[in-house]
Amino acid sequence: MKATCLIVDDEPLAVQLLKKHVSEMDNLLLAGTCTNAVEASSFLKQHRVELLFLDIQMPRITGIDFLKALQSPPAVIITTAHREYAVEGYDLDIVDYLLKPISFERFLAAVERFWRRNHNYNRSLPAEAIVTGDIYLSIKSGTKIYQFNESEIVYIESIRDFIQIHFRHEKKLMIKYRISQIEGELSGNFIRIHKSYIVNKKSITTLTANMIELGKIAIPVGESFKTGVEQYLKQ
């Protein structure tokens, strides 16, 4: 399965790098490139595009203004050389933002997030990702954006309108975010076992239909989640 994508950027070197990254992905098909919002608008009226790599600073119309004007925009990954635009980008519910120059590893993480959010799909990672084992997650809460490696997460706990992320080495992070939101953004390495808990499968030391242990931590399996846990046990 491939998603069609469009690159909208007025910097030739940035376009060249993005085209190279796209060519290395077996789940993306480049539909075209545009150098400004006017060209992109015309292109979108004539072609089906599922993912937009959109620069912010462009002639005449900025990428943000262009995105706000689209009635039914495709999924968008912002590409920018300016970190300060990230918060405004997330207010538009974009998939991710990439800070130039864009490394392949960061590009890969953004594309994986697109697939998880828009297709509920977990695919086999390319060799580069298997070697590093890195899957990055970006979360916007308030005016802050948090980014971390999924492999560092042990489990996630819901506390009213907040979630507390428990990392390895007993580190914790509490942010205003719904557990149902982060559940949809995590990879297949995680399993929801309770209305208030999501756990990293790789951190599980003991697993039954009623209880999961993560080392010294024991978490009960919620009644409505037992079927999913039992199916995981049979794998």
Instruction: Specify the CATH number of the domain 3-132.
Output: 3.40.50.2300
Q: What is the C-alpha separation between 28 and 50, in angstroms, rounded? A: 10
pLDDT at 42: 94
Long-range contacts of 214-219, Cβ-Cβ distance < 8 Å, separation of 24 or more: 214/154, 214/155, 217/154, 217/155, 219/155, 219/193, 219/194
pLDDT at 91: 54
The residue count of the chain comes to: 235
25-78 pLDDT, tens digit per residue, is 888 999 999 999 999 999 999 999 999 999 988 888 888 889 889 888 899 999
pLDDT at 124: 39
The domain defined by 136-234 carries CATH number 2.40.50.1020: yes
Question: Which of 12-16, 58-62, 84-88, 108-112 shows the lowest mean pLDDT across its residues?
Answer: 84-88
Structure tokens at 38: 């006017």
| Farthest CA pair distance, the chain | 60
Percent of the chain whose predicted confidence (pLDDT) is above 70: 88
CB–CB of 77/94 below 8 Å?
Answer: yes
Average pLDDT, the chain: 84
Is the model's pLDDT at 200 over the cut of 90? yes
pLDDT at 169: 84
Provide the 8-state DSSP code for 175. Answer: E
Give all strands (DSSP E) within the chain, no chain letters. 3-8, 28-34, 51-55, 75-80, 96-99, 136-141, 144-149, 153-159, 162-167, 172-176, 190-194, 197-200, 206-207, 211-214, 217-220
Q: What is the C-alpha separation between 192 and 194, in angstroms, rounded? A: 6
Is the model's pLDDT at 141 over the cut of 90? no
Q: CATH 3.40.50.2300 residue ranges in the chain?
A: 3-132
pLDDT at 148: 79
pLDDT at 223: 92
More confident residue, 157 or 142: 157
Structure tokens at 79: 């590409």
Is the model's pLDDT at 9 over the cut of 70? yes
pLDDT band at 81 (very low <50, low <70, confident <90, very high): confident
Tokens 């509920």, located at residue:
120
In this prediction the pTM is 0.54
pLDDT at 232: 83
Is the model's pLDDT at 120 over the cut of 60? no
Q: CATH 2.40.50.1020 residue ranges in the chain?
A: 136-234
Residue 124 backbone dihedrals phi, psi, to 5 degrees: -70, 130
pLDDT band at 129 (very low <50, low <70, confident <90, very high): very low
